[in-house]
Amino acid sequence: MKAQVTAFHYDLNFKTPGGTSRGVLARKRTYFLYAQNNENWGIGECNLFQGLSFDDRPDFDEKIQSIARWVENHFEVFFEPSTTINSFEELSDLNQYPSIQFGLEQLKKSYLNQDSFCLFDTDFYSDECGIPINGLIWMGQRDFMTSQIEEKIQCGFRCLKMKIGAIDFDTELSILKNIRSKFPVDQLELRVDANGAFDQNTALEKLKRLSDFNIHSIEQPIAARQWYEMAELVTKSPIKIALDEELISLRNSDEMTSCLETIKPDYIILKPGLLGGFQIGDQYIEEAQNLEIGWWITSALESNIGLNAISQWTSSKNTKMPQGLGTGSLYSNNIESPLQIEDSKLFYKKGLTWKLKPLLDHYVY
């Protein structure tokens, strides 16, 4: 058969709507690139996050279709192992489309490997070595948040990340106080994520109040692109600060270096689907290590296709810190996969199989 490359979207449905300071999520659209030439095939997820991704723009659908046509017309040279995505002048604007860049990186690795689901051959994939992860607590009413916390702790999680900033702050503090009264810091690590919800004029006071509960770190306390205000918070905050949304708009290495040197955060959160893939993620890790900045890796509500790729890349870093990779179970219609969570770790269970055929039958064949 003729070499074929297809781009299509797929809507993921949340089992329970997830609350953040940006609103409640009930459904998330993601995109895929699929390539096939006779028996060889590969797949990559382009994780467009509406309202957050740098490439959330009106021409996205047109762009991903044009990229699929270009790869199909240059199939042999694109999938030549010695080339990289950066090798092609026609793809030089992909730094403006980080989710497509992320998908193309996966697509090429997937196609070139004998097992199309193996992108990084690490002990996570080959030997079923689990990756420590945090339990994610969505925003909502007090009872809803409390029930999530109890469920995660019963499942063995010893690191929780709680979304804050959307409901009454005193209520959020009360929930954190209740957790700490039952689980001291040596039993449970607490991270919080404000998604930029705090006002810069009151953020420091809120950070001081949060510090009463031995919080490990807070992600993005104020909105992105306020470098000097964020830098001041870093110097004064009693809680360590991690950058998240701040990194999304940085489109080259100079901007990356300037941002990290100016703000000097304690941590950065790496989301390959929003930053532009693994090569850029590696650049962030190198720069962070040079500046003595900590880091961890987080998925950004990808399907199991993207989550699998991110998890394998994460395992190649040999980090022992809990990572943010527990989002695969959020959807009622996720692609069935060998990814499983047990005892607060993510595993790739070789005895389980992928069920990709229904997706391909509907959108490709």
Q: Which residues are catalytic?
A: 163, 271
Residue closest to 265 by CA, chosen among 217, 307, 306, 308 = 217
Sheet holding 339-342, edge to edge: 131-132, 345-348, 339-342
What region does 346 belong to: left with phi over 0, alpha with psi -120 to 50, or beta?
beta
Q: Which two tokens stand for residue 52?
A: 């957050």
Q: Which two tokens stand for residue 268?
A: 């950065």
Strands 345-348 and 339-342: antiparallel
Helices (H) and strands (E) in the chain, counts: 13, 13
CA–CA distance, 252 with 233 (Å, rounded to integer): 25
Task: Give φ, ψ of 50 to 5 degrees.
Answer: -60, 130
Q: CB neighbours (10 Å) of residue 363?
A: 14
